[in-house]
Every structure is written in structure tokens, then in C-alpha cells.
A and B are shown apart, each in its own frame.
Chain A
Amino acid sequence: MATTANTGTGSETTSTPGTAATSSPASPDTPTAPHPRPGREPQGHRRLLTRRDRATLGLMAGLPALLHITLVWVTALASIALAFTTWDGIGFGTIHWAGLDNFRELFTQNPQFWPAVQHNVIWFAVLFLIPTPLGLFLALQLDKKIRFSRVYQTAFFLPVVVSFAVIGFVWQLIYNPDTGLINSVIGANRPGHYIDWIGDPDLNLWAALVAASWRHTGYLMILYLAGLKGVDPTLREASAIDGANEWQTFRHVVFPTLKPTNTIVLVVTIIESLRAFDLVFVFNGGTDGTELLSILVTDNIVGESSRIGYGSAIAVVLLAISLAVIVPYLASTFRKERRS
């Protein structure tokens, strides 16, 4: 902070017309704004740049952008293109236009597709209905300036640090029909009484969701705690003085100010439910009751069938849902940013 304040005092903001002159010989190829109006706020430093500086900047922004765009966006677009083709992956010559065949087959003939969609929706619904209020509730309690707050936080947040793969193995120790904690405690670990939490198609999705909620709650708690730090304490005091009880203060003072946090929580929860993969993969490979869209996509590339076009069609469904969430979210975020 001291450094920024120090350099700030020797600021050159007012001298922009002069600095424009120093840069003009170095940038003859910029016909735009050779004489900036003196009153205008500087939009950046570009008038001060030498040709070498421009090259450096180009590399600094260009190389990472190239990598990101190639590996993330070009591949996402390629998913869209491939979704309309059939391809066995051997040479480019075998790519054939298939129109909407992949989608038609997916929507009408794939017995796993609609269950997978349903499971993704359930995944989101559960994460939204249980960890979200629970995370908010825990954050509200921990925000009360109580002692040991950090100890409690550490406990609730611990599962977030552990990978889903490890969580999958840890929860198998609880769900195992023979040796697991639950069946041992309720006496269901004897032949004839087994409850197969992971094998039973009616149970396993819910078993996975308990583990996923366990992890998600801590994550949302931290997001809400950060959001609560932004609530003006004087507002709360004022409402307490006015005789509002804890619930009324929360409902009318705290919750409205958490609006930006709620948006983030909603986006994070949707994205997490679309990304869900590791946990069910470790549990049972994402079959027999735990099918998810992410699993179906992967099955079509690493599986023996390797139907690239078909797998891409599933990826496009996933992409469409994701963008329906990401685009409005980012649009509003960046609009706000621009205004500020």
C-alpha cells in the first residue's frame, strides 16, 4: 500500500498531451488519435509504447490466449461440428455428414440419455435445496463473532479440499454392504439383510448425493461468509435498535445485501451439477442408476465403441445448458463491472 501511495503522488496523469508526442515517432502505423483532446481521460498507456513494447504485449497476451482458445474454445466448437457427423476416429476421410441423426438417436433411442438428464437435474435440485440453505445457515452462525469460529470453519470446509476421487473411496467405507459403517450399525451387513447403497439403482444416486452435498455445503458456507463480510454492520445495529428480531434482521436487512453472493452460489451450483463426474465414476463407473451426461460423453470416447459424433452430440447438450447459465451470468457481471 505504501508503494502505491508513494508513486501515486508523482503522478503524470495531467501531462497526457505531452506524453502523446513522445510516442508518435515510435508508432507511425497508428493513425487513430494522433492528437488526443487535452481534456480526455487517458484510456490506457498505449500512446507511450515503443514498437518493442507492443511486440512484448502481443506475446504476453497472445500466447496464453492462443493456448486457451485452442484447447477450450476451438475444441468446444469442434464438439458442435462433430455432433453433426459420424466418425470412427481413424483418419479424416471417414468423417461423414450425418445431419441431425446423432441427436435423433440420442433423444429417441438411447435408453441412458433421459435418465442421465434426469439425474443431472436431481443433482442440481438436491445441491440447491440442501447445501445452499445449510451453507448459508452455518455461515450466519459463524459470522456472529463467536469463539472458535475458525475451528468450526476448518471442519466444515475440510471436505472441499479433498478430491472427489478420495471422497468416493472414503464414502465407500461407509456404504459398503459388508463392512460399511451404516450397515454395521443398523445390522444390515448379514446375508439376506444387505442394503447395497452403491449397487442398488434406486439408492446409489442418493448415496452419491449425500457425499456431494457434504462437500458442497462447506464450499457454499465459505462463499456466504465472504458475502456476509460485506454486510454493513451499522445496518444490522440499526435494525436491532428498531426492535427487529434475528429472523427479521436476516430477512429484511442481511439477505437482500447477499444478492450478488446468491447469484454466484446459483451459478456455482449449476456448473457443479453439470460437471459431476468423479464421484459416481469412482463409486460404480456411472452405470446402473448413476448415469450422468458427463459420464455418457466420456463413455463414447474412452469406451470400446468410440462413437465420436455421437459423444459430441451429448457434449453439445451439455454445452447448450452451460452456456444458457454462463452467458447471462457473465453479461450481468461485466455490465456491472463496466459501470463501476
Chain B
Amino acid sequence: MTAVSPAFPRARVRPARLVLHLFLTVTALAWLAPLLWAVYSALRPYAETSTKGYVSWPDKLSLDNFTDAFTQSGMAHYFGNTLLIAVPAVLLTLFASSCVAFYVSRFDFRLNLALLLVFTAGNLLPQQVVITPLYRLYLLIDLPGITASGKLYDSALGLVLIHVAFQSGFCTFVLSNYMRMLPHELTEAALVDGASVWRLYWQIVLPLCRPAMAALATLLSIWIYNDFFWAIVLVATGENMPITSALQNLSGQYFTDPNLIAAGALLTAVPTLLVYFALQRQFVSGLTLGANKG
């Protein structure tokens, strides 16, 4: 028996495997169905669906709804807003949390456990717990000349700050676990040789954390891009909204039929889907980096 089976490993497709594949294919298609339905609706002209109904064979499929949704609503502007918020927020979060993680993991001061606890717990809080005072605080802080609104409220800066504050909890936890795995001798040796703490961080520890940083960067980009709540509450002017939150207003104003809504919603999802397909491995490992250490 042992002599035969390795020679023809493919010859015996077990029926159980076949059933499993069938089950997984059907389930996977069912899982994609809502999104595929949106794609299908977006590809069809409104005139056609309003006469034939949405569940019908298409006469014509086109990208017109996508171009209409994009141009009529000025989506480009809101994508720009998101870019202005997400890029600094991701970079600052990674910088801030790697600094704290560096301190916590390499320098065993009394504070470190408390600090790590505070960061991690803060990240797990529901945002609504802090929103009332935060909203008032943002209205109180005057920043004339720095933000267009003259306040922290209704500004990209305000959103960047809360993203950094909130997300650095998770990232600090993950990065400090990662840095703790680097050998102690590594940094000790550099310090003995007279390297400054900053060089230690920037030239030795940080380059070694590249895989974790890449994973976290992917994760953060998608999370911050997908944020809806902070912008809905902390931004007053519709024009200043990032795309995910702007969708709510746009759907009332410009996306007048389901086909356009489908197109607008899908266009909003495109950047996250692109990042996910390009960096799937980083994304998944980022999610589980925090989880593995339970």
C-alpha cells in the first residue's frame, strides 16, 4: 500500500474532498453575492432596470453609472480629503507607536507595563465612550490660521490626531511584542559602543521591524480609510468629509437611483479592495499579529 499511493497521489480523488470543494465553492459564491449584485446593478442603465426590473437579463452593460457617479458628485474631491487624512495618520501612528514600543520593550522602566496596559485598553474602548467630551474639546481648541475652520473641530488635523491616538494602542501592543523578540544583546552592544538611543531606534530596531510595520501599515490604511464615525461627528462641513463618511450625503444628493448608489458605493470600496488584493498577506498577518499573542 505504501508503495502504490505516493506514485499516484492525484489518482484517488476522495469523494469527501469533492463534496468539500463543492460546499466551499457554493458558500464562497453566496458570500460574494451581495457584492456581485451591487456590481451587476451598477453596470445596468437605470432606464432599463426601471422597466424590466432588477432581476432580469441585461440588454446593455456599461460603466456609465460609474463615470456618472464619479463626476457628478465630485468624488475625486472626497478621495483627496481621505488622502490628506489617511496618509499622515498612518505614518504618524506607526511612528508614535514604534517609539512607545521601543521604550516599553527595550528599557524596562517601572512604567512600561502600565503604559502598555493603558494603550491596549484604550484601543478596545468603543469610540462613543469618548465622543461627547472629545467633541467639546475639539470645539474649545482654537487654532486660528492653522486649520481652515480655526478650530480642531471640522478639520483634517483633528481627524488625524484622533486616529493616531486611538490606533496607536493596537500598534504599540503588536510592535512591543515584536521588538521584545529581538535579542537583548543587539541593542545592549550598540549602546556599549556609544550609539545614541535615537540611532538605536532608527538604524537598528526599526529596520528589523519592517515586516510588522508593513503589516500594520496595510491594516491601518484600510481601517482609517473605512472610518465613518469620527468624521460624521467631528466634521461639520460636508465638503471636508473623507469619502467613506461623505457617501451618506452624496447618496441623498447625487446618487438618485439604486444603480448610481451601487456604483458610488463600489467606487468607495475600490481603494480598500486594491490594497487588500495587493497586500493580502500583510493584511491578514497584521490582523493575527495581535491575536496570536493571547
Contact = CB atoms under 8 A, between A and B. Distances in A.
B103 A57 contact: yes
A166 B165 contact: no
Interface stretch (B1-9, B17-25, B57-65): B17-25
Contacts of B51: none
A165 B31 contact: no
Contact of B133 (A78, A169, A300): A78
B292 A226 contact: yes
Interface stretch (B73-81, B83-91, B191-199): B191-199
Interface string A165-189: 1100111111010011100110001
B282 interface: no
Interface string A327-340: 10010011011100
A12 B192 contact: yes
Contacts of B162: 71
Contacts of A71: 130, 134, 137, 161-162, 165-166
Interface residues of A, number: 122
B166 A65 contact: no
Nearest to B268: A166
A241 interface: no
A184 B54 contact: yes
Interface string B184-222: 111111011000111001000000100000000000001
A70 B269 CA distance: 32
B129 interface: yes
A67 B164 contact: yes
A4 B128 contact: no
Contact of B100 (A61, A89, A267): A61
Contacts, number: 342
A193 interface: no
Nearest to B38: A170
**Chain B interface category by residue count:** 35 or more
Nearest to A77: B133
B147 interface: no
Contacts of B133: 74-75, 78-79, 82, 312
A248 interface: no
A155 B32 contact: yes
B272 A161 contact: yes
Q: Please indicate which of the listed interface residues A82, A298, A334 has the most CB atoms of chain B within 10 Å of its own CB.
A: A298
Contacts of B287: 219, 222-223, 226
Contacts of A154: 277, 280
Contact of A326 (B121, B168, B208, B258): B121
Instruction: Give the most central of B97, B113, B116, B197: most A CB within 10 Å.
Output: B197
A163 B228 contact: yes
A interface majority secondary structure: helix
Contact of B27 (A57, A138, A337): A138
Contact of B126 (A43, A63, A318, A333): A318
A274 B31 contact: no
Contact of B35 (A53, A158, A264): A158
A163 B225 contact: yes
Contacts of A44: 106-109
Contacts of A48: 188, 191-192
Chief secondary structure at chain B's binding surface: helix
Contact of B268 (A64, A163, A180): A163
B161 A312 contact: no
B244 A165 contact: yes
Interface in A20-62: 22, 42-46, 48-50, 52-53, 56-57, 60-61
Interface string B168-186: 1100100000000011111
Interface in B91-147: 96-97, 99-100, 102-104, 106-109, 113, 115-122, 124-137, 139
A159 interface: yes
Contacts of B228: 163-165, 277-278, 281-282
Nearest to B167: A68
Given A68-B118, A78-B133, A163-B226, A60 B201 contact: yes
A148 interface: yes
Contacts of A3: 208
Given A146-B20, A158-B35, A330 B128 contact: no
A300 B233 CA distance: 11
Contacts of B66: none
Contacts of B161: 67, 71
Interface of A: 3-4, 7-8, 10-13, 15, 19, 22, 42-46, 48-50, 52-53, 56-57, 60-61, 63-65, 67-76, 78-79, 82, 89, 138, 141-142, 144, 146-148, 151-152, 154-159, 161-166, 169-174, 176, 179-181, 184-185, 189, 211, 214, 218-219, 222-223, 225-227, 230, 260-261, 263-264, 267, 271, 274-275, 277-278, 281-282, 293-294, 297-298, 300-302, 308, 311-312, 315, 318-319, 322-323, 325-327, 330, 333-334, 336-338
22 contacts: A44-B109, A45-B106, A46-B107, A52-B196, A56-B196, A57-B197, A60-B100, A63-B99, A64-B99, A65-B115, A71-B161, A75-B131, A75-B132, A75-B133, A75-B137, A141-B20, A144-B20, A163-B272, A223-B287, A264-B291, A300-B132, A330-B117
Given A222-B288, A301-B132, 16 more contacts: A64-B96, A64-B99, A72-B122, A75-B137, A79-B130, A146-B20, A165-B244, A169-B261, A169-B264, A169-B265, A226-B291, A261-B291, A293-B128, A312-B132, A330-B121, A338-B113
